[in-house]
Amino acid sequence: MGPKRMPGDVWVEREGNFVKLLRCRTAEESIGDVTTRQTVIAAMARVHREVIDAEKYVKHPSDCKQIEFLLLPYPDNHSSYDENMEVELKMENCVSIETLVKNVGQVLKGKFFLCRTITPSSRIIGVDAGVEDPEGKRAMRLGLFNYSLNAKMGKSDFEAVLPLGTMLIVKNPVFKQSFDHSPIHGLIVDNPGDVEILSPKRMTALFPGVQWKSDLPNESRVLLKKSLPFWEFSPAKSDLEIATKLKNVGNKAFIENRSTDAIRFYDVAAEYLPDDEEEITPAVSTLLVNILSNRAAALIKLECFNSALICTGKALGINNGHVKAIYRHAKALIGLGRYSEGGEFLDEKLTQFSSLGDDILRLRSTVPELLKPPGKEIIRALLSLRPMDCGHPQKDLPVGMVDRVPEFRGHVQLKKSKICNGEGLFATQDLEPGTIILVCKPFAGLYVNPQEEKAFRESTTTKQFLVGVMANKIWLDPLLGHDLYALWAGPELKTLTDNEDTKMTKVDIARIKKICNFNFTENVVDKEDYDDDEAEAEDFISCGVWIPVSKINHSCIDANVMFVHHDSTLVMMVTTFKKVKKGEEILMSYIDPFLPLEKRNFISQGAFICKCRLCELDRSESRALIAKRDRLIKSLAYDPDTNLYPSHPCLLARDLETIAEVESLRAASPDLNFAMTCPGIYTIAAVVLLDQRRYVECLSILEKIYAVVENVPTSCMHRAQAEIILICCMRMGKKKAVLEKWTEELRKYCRLYAGTLEHVRVGRYPTIPEDLKKFGIEFFNDTD
Ligand SMILES: [Zn+2]
């Protein structure tokens, strides 16, 4: 038990006890406290020693109150890029801790902060460490956000993420609070391109004569498992040995899925290799090719294919038979969608060198398939349904299949949109329902399986993570900015064009964050379908930003394509669900059109106002009319909680009149009469009337419901709708032509929703194919 703690207190650990520092201090005093070496070192040592993991922190918040001041939360404001942020690494642009503190809250554009870590690093939210400037009198907390996204407390060796004594250049530095009422200030960095690891060699070259005046603190040294801090090389080590050591640190990072760290260390390693051709020995040359080839592997993992290609190009320039470089060069070409070129390159190498190994042959064999639209096998796997009774994700794709899925674009082209100011996709020929328009992987995507979902959410959010992925991609492969920044970033930010070249290739966190918000798509399991405990236990994350799909404009009601993405591989597929004429704009519904106007209208919050037929009609209706419709629907005897309908002839007669009245409220536009699809009306038709063999009335209502649903993107309910109408028609003994028509509707929805006619077996009427045979209709036809 310690003294009573009050809000606003700041605590620091001294000799194992928590001591209150000060209370009611001025902002200046508070900043003074958090920039003393002792405070910083003690705070970071504690995080390191206790391996404070976010999980523990969230589970036992009361035990952890006292460490609150140790957390540097994710910043809630980010600066936009401008030209003044280009930094020249001259000593006159270098700022000290004193300058940063004097300019608290201000981004020092065009300046840089030269610092070195004086504590072990860790990660709770961002990567954290204590840093000093060369003067060594004061220190501050450094919070690197969007840095080493996959490093985890308790799992990663932070001496390999940001070792003790790492020298860093932080460009455009700002000393501030992460958010308004945060109790702690720190050097907050959110742009991965603003941080450079500085090798001792480059330090001497860039800043001759600059010395670190303090030694690394003993408190920090004793926490290291190794005797020598990372950057203290023994004088006997040659440049080649140092470069090899740094390359190995990069390799370790690559293996641990910390590809951005790997690239940082490969780059530092390369600094130790001579530029002068005369000094390049065979050993240097081998090491250089390995570094380039490994750097390419890390870039491929991050899907930075343009930059990967540059690395493999250089590596092959030195050694044109380097097997890994050949493999990665082809991988990068394929990643860029340059399939034929990738195939030709491999053919050339396979002719040139007799044995390049199985991996290369396997890669070559995927090329022909990539040049075609995805085949039935792939479509079925992408559309495979989630298990019915739990929130589990879809089955993984068969091994190796994801490499055979092409980035595909069907018969569509970008043109000036007819419904908004920007561009949109248009059909270049007539398209049948079920035509694939796009298949693509996300620019930034995230899949977290149910076992890891909780731990993931404790340290970050899905959108924060995706912003980090996008920022790192543009930092490492600036050409990718041209793709990402063409997306809508909200009304305040003008969409960048290719003419604004400088901004197009720079990391701009403020813009990336907006783009992420406006173009984010997520697979969500409807928890209402499962009982609470199970839903709690089985949750996964599957989300991302898909650039080609983001170019399709929205309409609640006149959408003609549907989009689905596979849970774990995040491959997205866009398919027509109605006929589309040549020249027609491709439209999709970003949100459920069955939601009421006020819920659909979140689109208008800062983005745009939907002017589709449904929204315009909804907006034109009087309050009285809307209230009347609601009242009529609520008056039905159906109980929405139990999904039951009391059987009583009087009630049914009354309700049929009510249904007729609901219908009359939008008689002029039956396809917009969404009220007809409410569960009460559906149950009365599809269950009650069908059971009572009142087929004429049943069919009449079902057809009215169908007029609405056939117009909206295919979901699981479409199959059920077509099924029940077909059942009704069969029982009525309708003509074969009518039965054929509804059979084809049912087939269409089975194909669209599950990719297979077998889907008919999962519904309430699994024997439909056998029933149809009695009418001379074969449900499973040859084409499927
Ligand atoms: Zn609309």
What is the tens place of the pLDDT at every residue in 164-182? 999 999 999 999 887 766 6
What pLDDT digit, counting tens, does each position of 279-321 carry?
889 999 999 999 999 999 999 999 999 999 999 999 999 999 9
The contacts of residue 16 (CB under 8 Å, 6+ apart) are none
Alpha carbons 740 and 777: distance in angstroms, whole number? 7
Query: 479 C-alpha vs ligand 1 centroid, how far in Å?
Result: 35
- Give the DSSP per-residue string, 623-679: HHHHHHHHHHHHHSS-BTTTTB----HHHHHHHHHHHHHHHHTTTT-GGG-GGGGSH
Query: 597 C-alpha vs ligand 1 centroid, how far in Å?
Result: 8
What pLDDT digit, counting tens, does each position of 422-445 carry?
889 999 999 999 999 999 999 999
State both tokens at 628.
């009347």
Query: 676 C-alpha vs ligand 1 centroid, how far in Å?
Result: 18
What is the reported pLDDT for 606?
Answer: 56
Query: 589 C-alpha vs ligand 1 centroid, how far in Å?
Result: 8
What is the reported pLDDT for 2?
Answer: 43
Query: 617 C-alpha vs ligand 1 centroid, how far in Å?
Result: 9
What is the reported pLDDT for 524?
Answer: 81
Query: 552 C-alpha vs ligand 1 centroid, how far in Å?
Result: 14
Topology adopted by domain 27-224: OB fold (Dihydrolipoamide Acetyltransferase, E2P) (2.40.50)
Long-range contacts of 757-762 (CB under 8 A, 24+ apart): 757/784, 759/385, 759/719, 760/719, 760/723, 762/385, 762/388
For β-strands 185-189 and 520-522, DSSP reports them as: unpaired
In the structure, what pLDDT confidence band is assigned to residue 122 with cuts at 50, 70 and 90? confident
Query: 554 C-alpha vs ligand 1 centroid, how far in Å?
Result: 8
Alpha carbons 406 and 382: distance in angstroms, whole number? 13
Distances (CA, A) of 739 to 600, 699, 734, 769, 775: 36, 13, 7, 12, 8
Q: Give me the mean pLDDT over the 86-107 stretch.
A: 95
User: Quick check: 245 pLDDT over 60?
Assistant: yes
What is the reported pLDDT for 60?
Answer: 56
Query: 609 C-alpha vs ligand 1 centroid, how far in Å?
Result: 8
Q: Are 141 and 42 in contact (CB under 8 A)?
A: no
Query: 621 C-alpha vs ligand 1 centroid, how far in Å?
Result: 14
Q: What is the largest CA-CA distance in the chain?
A: 100
Query: 635 C-alpha vs ligand 1 centroid, how far in Å?
Result: 28
What pLDDT digit, counting tens, does each position of 42-78 carry?
888 877 777 555 555 555 555 544 544 567 778 888 8
3-state secondary structure of 439: strand
Q: pTM for the full model?
A: 0.90
Q: Give me the mean pLDDT over the 753-768 stretch.
A: 93
For CATH 2.170.270.10, list the domain ranges present in the chain. Answer: 378-604
Query: 585 C-alpha vs ligand 1 centroid, how far in Å?
Result: 15
Alpha carbons 115 and 132: distance in angstroms, whole number? 5
CATH number of 378-604: 2.170.270.10
**H/E element holding 376?**
helix 376-383
What pLDDT digit, counting tens, does each position of 534-552 carry?
445 468 999 999 999 999 9
To the nearest whole number, what is the mean pLDDT of the chain? 88
3-state secondary structure of 275: coil
In the structure, what pLDDT confidence band is assigned to residue 187 with cuts at 50, 70 and 90? very high
Query: 586 C-alpha vs ligand 1 centroid, how far in Å?
Result: 15
Query: 612 C-alpha vs ligand 1 centroid, how far in Å?
Result: 4
First to last CA, the chain: 72
Query: 602 C-alpha vs ligand 1 centroid, how far in Å?
Result: 11
Q: Give me the mean pLDDT over the 26-31 stretch.
A: 71
3-state secondary structure of 403: helix
Query: 93 C-alpha vs ligand 1 centroid, how far in Å?
Result: 52
Query: 712 C-alpha vs ligand 1 centroid, how far in Å?
Result: 12
User: Quick check: 124 pLDDT over 60?
Assistant: yes
State both tokens at 432.
């049948």
Q: Which residue is it, tokens 């440049």?
A: 239
Q: Give me the mean pLDDT over the 587-591 stretch.
A: 90
For CATH 1.25.40.10, list the domain ranges present in the chain. Answer: 233-371
What is the reported pLDDT for 42?
Answer: 86
Reply yes or no on domain 233-371 having CATH 1.25.40.10: yes
CATH number of 613-773: 1.25.40
Query: 363 C-alpha vs ligand 1 centroid, how far in Å?
Result: 45
Q: Give me the mean pLDDT over the 543-571 stretch.
A: 95
Vertex 638, ends 636 and 643: CA angle to 5°? Answer: 155
Q: Are 12 and 39 in contact (CB under 8 A)?
A: yes
Query: 671 C-alpha vs ligand 1 centroid, how far in Å?
Result: 14
Query: 414 C-alpha vs ligand 1 centroid, how far in Å?
Result: 22
State both tokens at 516.
């992420």
Query: 615 C-alpha vs ligand 1 centroid, how far in Å?
Result: 4
Query: 709 C-alpha vs ligand 1 centroid, how far in Å?
Result: 15
Query: 614 C-alpha vs ligand 1 centroid, how far in Å?
Result: 6
Task: Pick the range with the lowest mean pLDDT from 274-278, 451-455, 494-498, 778-782.
Answer: 494-498
Q: Are 534 and 470 in contact (CB under 8 A)?
A: no
Query: 613 C-alpha vs ligand 1 centroid, how far in Å?
Result: 7
Query: 577 C-alpha vs ligand 1 centroid, how far in Å?
Result: 18
Query: 556 C-alpha vs ligand 1 centroid, how far in Å?
Result: 4
Query: 80 C-alpha vs ligand 1 centroid, how far in Å?
Result: 32
Q: Are 763 and 740 in contact (CB under 8 A)?
A: no
